[in-house]
């Protein structure tokens, strides 16, 4: 069994070498910043440490512990984008219409995972809780933040006149922000 894992890792490393991974990698997006960014302290600290200003690096410079941890959790991901920041790495990728941001420390330890998706992927009990608590509103974006084994949902809802940011955690629901649409 161990030889299979070793063979898989060796083959993955060889594939990275052959596929031209010696060129610098830089994540650049022309898309506007999404309002749905999570506001927790961890992410704001990472932004202050330079996460929003990725630097050039070679894929062979990625810590092997981080790469092993990522491959063991997300082995079938295509085209992941690695961004190095002070204290770790962030891996951006999409799978099954869900956008992922996976934060790793330099030790390979998972710091947190952020998934963004539409209402169809929100667990039914949470979707019903939002729909029953806010009739007349529709869900247009869900941000799922998993950190230290706990998951919270930041749900963006709207009606004709307003937007609301709803937080679902520990079985409770609260309004984090409330906005009035301009006319």
CA dist 95 and 115 (Å) reads 10
CA dist 66 and 80 (Å) reads 13
Task: Tell me: pLDDT of 39 over 50.
Answer: no
Name the pTM for this structure.
0.68
Q: pLDDT tens across 109-147, in order?
A: 999 999 999 999 999 999 999 999 999 999 999 999 999
How is residue 53 annotated by DSSP? Answer: S
* Residue 10: predicted pLDDT: 53
* Residue 104: predicted pLDDT: 92
In the sheet that holds 110-117, the strands lie side by side as 81-85, 88-95, 98-105, 110-117, 138-147, 150-158, 162-169, 172-180
Question: Domain locations in the chain?
Answer: 36-111, 118-183
Number of Cβ within 10 Å of residue 156's Cβ equals: 22
CA dist 108 and 176 (Å) reads 32
* Residue 28: predicted pLDDT: 42
- And the tokens for 82? 């690695």
The fold adopted by the segment(s) 118-183 is Nuclear Transport Factor 2; Chain: A, (3.10.450)
* Residue 35: predicted pLDDT: 34
Q: pLDDT tens across 158-170, in order?
A: 999 999 999 998 8
């Amino acid at each position: 069994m161990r030889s299979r894992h070793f063979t898989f890792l060796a083959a993955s490393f060889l594939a990275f070498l052959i596929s031209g991974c010696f060129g610098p990698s830089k994540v650049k997006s022309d898309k506007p910043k999404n309002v749905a960014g999570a506001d927790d302290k961890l992410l704001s600290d990472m932004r202050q440490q330079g996460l929003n200003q990725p630097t050039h690096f070679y894929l062979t410079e990625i810590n092997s512990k981080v790469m092993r941890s990522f491959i063991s959790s997300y082995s079938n991901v295509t085209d992941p984008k690695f961004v190095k920041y002070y204290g770790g790495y962030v891996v951006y990728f999409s799978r099954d219409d869900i956008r992922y941001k996976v934060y790793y420390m330099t030790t390979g330890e998972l710091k947190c995972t952020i998934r963004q998706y539409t209402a169809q992927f929100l667990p039914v009990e949470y979707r019903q809780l939002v729909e029953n608590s806010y009739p007349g509103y529709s869900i247009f974006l869900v941000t799922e933040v998993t950190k230290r084994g706990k998951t919270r949902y930041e749900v963006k809802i709207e009606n004709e006149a307003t937007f609301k940011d709803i937080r679902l955690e520990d079985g409770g629901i609260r309004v984090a922000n409330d906005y009035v649409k301009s006319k």
